Structure 1
């Protein structure tokens, strides 16, 4: 889910974070190979596509989540994880859907015509909303819903605890057009990825009050929705959320009767699939789970490329890691290629370290910006720590009486996190840094540890969007103070940034020429490497084990999930 937004989920304009570490894969076979394979093309996916007349009417899809979301508002800081996004996108309006190659396609369920873009003298986009589109409480969807989505997420009002202001901060106004169904969006600065905005958007009533925005979605999803499914019930104790077919939906009716989301520890999900308790699982880079999934006679493995990667986030406000020289030295002590080999090699994947925070290796724009920081060199790491004043005393370095001890927080039940943290622990021990691995409950991982900064290092996956440059911005933006005087990090869990980096990102997102924008984005990436905000580890395409008869669903890559078309083959 970049959480969002290149986050913790696949949504624009932010990204989403996820806890499951899946490995890269390629081809259509469900078997491993001894020959290492590069990441598949970015436009490839496997969802068992079927026409609607080939799909049964009715049935229940049981969907495994890695945890029960802390907040179901995807735009709120605690809500931008991939699990919350999966629930929301079944119920909420999205102005655009995306094809397998990331091409945006305007959504006829919510738009009456293709949006009109003008760029001179100012960038102006006119959205004509579908007059048939209504919230399930009977209220029409109007320009005011877009207006309040902008007002709540622009970052101007610090009372809103937002996860990102990407794109919305560029808007000057959202105004009524010829009628209530026409919205005219005027930008104060150009924004290339304008098609990422308002996907999803919510009822104006939920965005007018910051308290409702921040806390109104903490126990369950919103009851006022406008999608093929609607909210039915949530049970935080049983960790389930149930959605049912929305009888007021004006588009093609959902094939499924209901979707039941169940939070299950990631390491237990393959067994749940084998036992018929769930219908699919993102199996991760757990080789044992992969091999067990291959043996499930009723299941198959679907594969796709995706803008997803595992990474190591380093807390720049940590007492032992606040010095950039220390972060640089420790980065050089971590053999990222060895980590990639350990996690993806057993699956037959070419074990290469990822050397870009914005573009994946199979995306246009990718280049290696890691420089000396990304090169594994134990002797340079030792020299760097010496120069920073951390002197070896026995097995562990010290400075001013303080030991170089690192609190490495991981979620329980995530095999990839366990492996990665142990590898880093062994590597940093070679240069005199003692890593203490702290496994915490999966439901608390982001809410109580990552978001408030209660860690020195951590590891998870960013799941990106179809807009790699703009979606990355909130992850690396320089943190500012909110209305309470607290640090507003958006998605910058490392709390590392600079005004110079912000300027580079702003220039990149304002550049309408894709080649020039990519050049600026790579300049930003080079700055990220030097600041050692985080270390990219390896690319994480999708590897999904799913029941064979599940249609229009699976390893989607860049494509949108069309929830009303999901079902079981006749």
Structure 2
């Protein structure tokens, strides 16, 4: 969904209240494309842009990745961010994303691609670049398109595919005037046809189930990009990409790219030791690098806000990614690597706090000659509300939770300390800068304590009876060793000064901790807002208490900071929360996927094709043959017929303006259902060598691998585009 995915990838219920009547007519009417002007990205990319004449020929870029990928086939379920990164460098893509996250024709492979007919069938004709060839000398042609369609159509179950979206709507693929003209006829109209054949694999890979399932996992003998794959060394954790001698486009400036598997809490040491030239890092790690440099009398890690011309000491930002993708059609918990019908994978929030000892001797070395590149990642963090059980099965309670949140304050917690625009995300289906983006949050309304309390009262939740209060007190008493009640900012209540307005939420600590989860990050905790808590509400003698599940690993402090602030906001309207910290490797599998939570924080990557890619995330759960519900990737278990219908209409129209309107209307319905509340776009932080050009925090844009390289002596990058606010 984003240019390199989210890394290591991130599956029951019926809806009690439909949202059609809850939506104000004005909220939907405001979604007209005539009234919505094109948005701009909230922050520009930060990649030290430089003309190719300023970049040296040759050199090796050592680029950190989380792991050597388990497969090089991007259409398999265990493909990850490194798989996508490699595919971007060595395989054709018919379309690339620009700085606004919008698909553009990739002229290296395409002369043109357009819809030439809509009646009686939609027909798209691709005219390929006459110079485009595979690394074995064979021209890229219709045979490759046809092989990929057959493999991904879903008709042959011998192919172990992770997704079939779009390919299952194709009726046939034919040659046109010659093998360089590809005629694709669709059985059903498909608005997101530009999402197809990116990447495109050779027929050698797609031609048989055996080659698709196995041969492409460990290597690709035939490629077609500015780089090719020289070696995949899992023992030493490296993938080596070298210039493709048959590349017909602008020659790659770098002679080699080494993707090096380095855990995030070890990247500062690897940078200091001269083992890396570029690495995505966490904010705490960047802090340690900067402080270590200062302590040693060296030059602090330099950086600037994305697009600015100054380069003083920068506040660190971050990016991390992925978590194991659960199966898309499971009615229970799903194991990593299971099949998925969608391309999206949620990411777990993390601030990248290093394990003890991370700031050891290596990190005390001076990192002269490195800079901090900052932008916003094409992904957003949300609060998920599980509508499949308990109080949140009532739409009014979910809407009350949404109305209690000050989303601007939550965005500020994460983004302001990083010098990034702290603008709450206004859409589930697009981010600022993308064509489909429009702020649809008006369908749920802004923060309003009185309105939230009114909704709860309508749902039957009133000031707790003595019985309910006693039950709540007993819950505090029985929490014992499993957890401690905490006050403001997550501090242990035992150390508080005794104020009466402490939030009424519990914190349950895990029995053990796993590795750091991937995702976005937050800074160290800030002062909690003032204001007394409301009395705990109750219904039928039971207090209104929600289980708030968070991962517990060393990189989870941001989630705890944001989660604690959310708990305080809920406390003000009378909702009690029990923050439950669980091992990171169990967060999705045992809690989010299985539905064992009420509230959770995780993130989704943005997509240029929301009608296709976002539908599994918001589709209404449907009954399965065994009586369970199929939820696809809708972990909130909240969905409506209206949303499904709008997605169906959006994917079937070939009018781009109409598609945007339908996507925006779908987003308004999703807001009104209050199954998930977008909070903020995730920060993206990359440390690079100061002389590395055309690389860093890419934002939306697909990396241009052939332009990356090291500046010539005396060469200076031009100013990056200024961030938009």
- TM-score, normalization: structure 2? 0.63
- Residues 77 and 370 of structure 1: CA distance in aligned 2, closer, same or farther (over 3 Å): farther
Q: Match for 2:441 among 369, 372, 378? A: 369
Residue 443 of structure 2 aligns to a residue whose secondary structure is: coil
TM-superposition CA deviations, 1:315-356 (whole Å, max 9, x none): 566788666566545445554333212111223445342231
Deviates more, 1:293-302 or 1:401-410: 401-410
Contact 1:77 1:162 in 2 (8 A): yes
Match of 2:228, SS state, is: strand
Choose which of 274, 277, 286 in structure 2 pairs with 1:276: 274
1:22-70 alpha-carbon deviations (Å, 9 max, x no partner): xxxxxxxxxxxxxxxxx97469433233333432232221222245545
- Whole-angstrom CA distance in 1 between matches of 2:236 and 2:540: 48
**Structure 1 residues 66 and 507: CA distance shift in structure 2, 3 A:** same
Residue 93 of structure 1: how far off its partner (Å):
1.0
Query: Hey, what's the Cα distance between the residues in 1 that align with 2:596 and 2:236?
Result: 27
Kindly report which structure 2 residues correspond to 1:422-433, keeping only aligned pairs within 5 A, or say none: 422-424=564-566, 431-433=575-577
Pick closer, same or farther for the CA change 1:475–1:456 going to 2, 3 Å.
same
Separation of aligned partners in 2, 1:460 and 1:191 = 30
Counterpart among 453, 460, 479 of residue 379 in structure 1: 453
SS state of the match for residue 89, structure 1?
helix
The aligned counterpart of 1:434 is 578
Over 3 Å counting, the alpha-carbon distance change for 1:69 and 1:528 in structure 2 is farther
Q: CA deviation at 1:481?
A: 9.4
Structure 1 partner of 2:60? 60
Question: Which position in structure 2 is the counterpart of 1:298?
Answer: 369
| Pair 1:10-2:38 in alignment | no
How far has the Cα of 1:210 moved from its partner?
Answer: 5.4
Once residues 211 and 401 of structure 1 are traced to their aligned partners in structure 2, the CA distance between those partners, rounded to angstroms, is 57
Gaps of 5+ in 1: 22-38
Residues 313, 535 of structure 1: 8 Å contact kept: yes
Tell me the equivalent position of 1:32. Answer: none
Q: CA 1:468 to 1:245, structure 2 compared with 1: closer, same or farther past 3 Å?
A: same
Q: 1:419 aligns with which of 561, 575, 584?
A: 561
Shift of 1:448: 8.6
Distance apart, 1:184 and its partner CA: 0.5
For residues 330 and 203 of structure 1, the distance between their equivalents in structure 2, rounded to whole angstroms, comes to 50
Pair 1:394 & 2:536 matched: no
Query: C-alpha root-mean-square deviation of aligned residues, in Å?
Result: 4.3
* Aligned-residue offset at 1:536: 0.8
Find the aligned partners of 2:127 and 2:405 in 1 and give their Cα distance.
52
- Equivalences for residues 503-514 of structure 1 within 5 A: 503-514=645-656
- CA 1:244–1:349 in structure 2 vs 1: closer, same or farther (change >3 Å)? closer
CA distance in 2, matches of 1:90, 1:195: 19
Matched with 1:27 is none
**Cα pair 2:40 2:432 within 8 Å, conserved:** no
Task: Map residues 31-46 of structure 1 onto 2, 5 A cutoff.
Answer: 41=41, 44-46=44-46
Aligned equivalents of 1:211, 1:327: Cα separation in 2: 48
Higher-Rg structure is 2
Mean CA deviation greater in 543-552 or 461-470: 461-470
Name which of structure 1's ranges 392-401 and 120-129 shifts more when overlaid on structure 2: 392-401
* Aligned twin of 1:353: 424
Residue 240 of structure 1: aligned partner: 238
Deviation of residue 126 (structure 1)?
1.1
Q: For 1:349-407, what per-residue CA distance to the aligned partner results, in whole angstroms no more than 9, with x for missing partners?
A: 4534223112324555412335337646463576588659x977316689999985343
Gaps of 5+ in 2: 11-38, 292-300, 303-312, 314-366, 476-537, 713-725
- Residue of structure 2 in register with 1:51 after alignment: 51
- Residue pair 1:373, 1:529 contacting (<8 A) in 2 also: no
Conservation of the 8 A alpha-carbon contact between 1:18 and 1:461: no
Partner Cα distance (1:320, 1:290) in 2: 46
- The Cα shift of 1:528 comes to 1.7
Counterpart mapping for 1:116-265 below 5 A: 116-121=114-119, 122-137=121-136, 139-155=138-154, 162-209=161-208, 213=212, 220=218, 222-236=220-234, 238-265=236-263
Once residues 269 and 524 of structure 1 are traced to their aligned partners in structure 2, the CA distance between those partners, rounded to angstroms, is: 41
Query: 1:78 maps to what in 2?
Result: 78
Contact 1:96 1:196 in 2 (8 A): yes
In the alignment, is the contact (CA less than 8 A) between 1:284 and 1:416 conserved in 2?
Answer: no
Counterpart CA distance in 2 for 1:416 and 1:52 is: 39
Distance in 1, Cα, partners of 2:235 & 2:93: 30
Alpha carbons 2:133, 2:224 under 8 Å: kept: yes
